[in-house]
Structure 1
Amino acid sequence: MNTTTAPGKRNLIKNKRCCCICVWITSAILGLGLLFLILGLTVFKAKRPVTKINSVGLSDLDVSLDLARLRVVLNVTLDIGVSVENPNRVGFRYTNSTAYLRYRGNDVGEVPIGAGRIGARDTRALNLTLTVMADRLLSNSDLYTDALSGTLPFQTYIRMEGKVKILFSIHVVTYTTCDLEIDVLNRTISNQKCRYRTKL
């Protein structure tokens, strides 16, 4: 009795084995893909980093009126305490940014914020000093009126841009704006109101 397997039958068995192996590999890849997708949408879902202004202090204020020329010479320096919270389970890398000091919609002071990284579920504190560039205020017609009224309206604006990398990089931009008034006579900050926004 001849027990030798026919060539056609051997090829059929070989093809079945190849099909089984392909099915197993495909199933494993799909399973891993589904697992990563579930983790990406739940545990590792990208969350928005939040930038907050914790404190604003007036470290220097010098106001002098030139009544003859109806001009104001103004020097203002603000110390700002900022915190950036990263609620993600992975690090947040941010690029070079800038904090601005604005007077009635015009940029009158700025300070750079160097690029960096905030670890998973970590918070970084930034201490910034914003100084008014006096030459940018000379042509502003509202300054004289505001100085005489005793109240100077300013706004701080910080925009930070970066990436959160989970399964792929997610672009994130955070915005922080604080409206505040400087009481010239009392040399204090009043009516401070801050707003925060993050965009994925």
Structure 2
Amino acid sequence: MKKSLKICRAITAGVLLLVLITFLILYFTVLKPKQPKIVASPIGLDHIAFSLPPNPTLNISIRAAITIENPNYAGFQYRNSSATVFYRRNLIGDAPIEAGVIRARSTKNISTVINVDADKLMADSSFLPDVLRGSLNLTSTAIMEGKVILLGIFKIRATIYSSCDISIFVWEGTKTSICDSKIEL
């Protein structure tokens, strides 16, 4: 009786060890988190508001598209977030990002509106020379907090950090963006 109990324990321990090794191999090969690919691009003017002296102001809203490609085998559920926009390290605007889910191995397009404080933009001494050269270089950053959903069962807290360098070529009417993102579990 004792011998069969020892054999049963040994088999159980062996099976558990095999399951653990299989899970570790899967994690370090297939399930290992990969960095999402993010592209942010302004797509058009949404709103302009200005007032004349004695208190002249100019505010602009730019419609933007954010494309997030999730190469992972886990989905990402994120909370309401926001992106900030900088011109030469000066905060000139922000954009809300509504809560949502990016499914496993899929691409999600998010549309948002960037509220640009044009007064701050034009107050920068480099603004006019940059416009005359034909290129405005902006930086956008976003932090998206949420949960990674693995196999529909496991939920792990995660944060995606994203930074995009956006160049708007004024005279050509074109734009480019290069984004770098990092996921932290």
Distance 1:135 1:34, change over 3 A: same
Distance 1:141 1:178, change over 3 A: closer
When the two chains are superposed, the root-mean-square deviation of aligned CA atoms in Å is 3.6
- Counterpart amino acid of 1:44? L
Match of 1:112 in 2: 96
Q: Which entry has the higher C-alpha Rg, 1 or 2?
A: 1
CA deviation vs aligned residue, 1:107-166 (integer Å, no higher than 9, x gap): 12112112221111111101121122346458x352775488475735141324344344
- The DSSP-based 3-state class of the residue aligned with 2:92 is strand
Distance 1:63 1:24, change over 3 A: closer
Q: CA deviation at 1:100?
A: 1.8
Structure 2: tracts of 5 or more residues without a match: none
- Counterpart amino acid of 1:91? G
Structure 2 distance, partners of 1:61, 1:189, is: 17
Distance 1:52 1:147, change over 3 A: closer
Structure 2 distance, partners of 1:144, 1:123, is: 35
Match of 1:20 in 2: 7
Match of 1:83 in 2: 67
- Report how many aligned residue pairs link the two structures: 179
Residue identity (%): 25
Distance 1:92 1:141, change over 3 A: closer
Match of 1:43 in 2: 30
**1:102/1:108 contact within 8 Å kept:** yes
TM-score, normalising length: structure 1: 0.70
- Counterpart amino acid of 1:126? I
Structure 1 distance, partners of 2:6, 2:112, is: 64
Structure 2 distance, partners of 1:37, 1:100, is: 38
Structure 1 distance, partners of 2:84, 2:182, is: 18
TM-score, normalising length: structure 2: 0.74
CA deviation vs aligned residue, 1:10-29 (integer Å, no higher than 9, x gap): xxxx2212211111111111
Structure 1 distance, partners of 2:173, 2:47, is: 11
1:149-188 alignment, distance < 5 Å? 149=132, 153-161=136-144, 162-166=146-150, 169=156, 171-181=158-168, 183=170
- The DSSP-based 3-state class of the residue aligned with 1:38 is helix
Structure 2 distance, partners of 1:134, 1:123, is: 32
Q: Which runs of 4+ in 1 moved over 6 A?
A: 61-64
Structure holding more strand per residue: 2
- The DSSP-based 3-state class of the residue aligned with 1:40 is helix
Q: CA deviation at 1:94?
A: 2.1
Distance 1:20 1:182, change over 3 A: same
Q: CA deviation at 1:56?
A: 1.9
Match of 1:33 in 2: 20
